[in-house]
Amino acid sequence: MKESLLEILCCPLDKHDLELEDAEYDDDGDEIVSGTLVCTECGERYPIEDGIPNLLPPDMREGTPA
């Protein structure tokens, strides 16, 4: 995912902003391939897997490797 996506993404639960943690970028440095999006309000953590953020509410994420 591109960092520009972060401008409009929010926590699916309380709609507050997300903060990017532990980001790893591709070789060109413009694509985030892995990391964690953390809600600045409730602290819920959402994984970025293969460059795709998984923003399913935590109770629907079962079976998905975090």
Partner 1 sequence: MSVREEFDAWATDGRDKGMEERHWHTAKHALARVPVEPGETILDLGCGSGYAGRALRETKDAGRVYGLDGAPEMTRNAASYTDDPNVGYVVGDFDSLPFADDSIDHIWSMESFYYAADPEHTLEEVARVLRPGGTFYCAVNYYEENVHSHEWQEFIAVEMTRWDREQYREAFRDAGLYVAEQDNIPDREITIPAEAEFPTDDWDTRAEMVERYRELGTLLTVGVAP
Nearest to partner 1 of 9, 20 (CB atom): 9
- Residue 24 contacts partner 1 per CB under 8 A: no
Task: Count residues near partner 1 (CB under 8 A).
Answer: 26
Nearest to partner 1 of 22, 57 (CB atom): 57
- Residue 27 contacts partner 1 per CB under 8 A: no
CA distance 33 to 47: 11
Question: Which strand (E) or helix (H) includes residue 65?
Answer: none
Distance of closest approach, residue 24 Cβ to partner 1, in angstroms: 16
CA distance 12 to 31: 22
Strand pairing report for 32-39 and 45-49: antiparallel
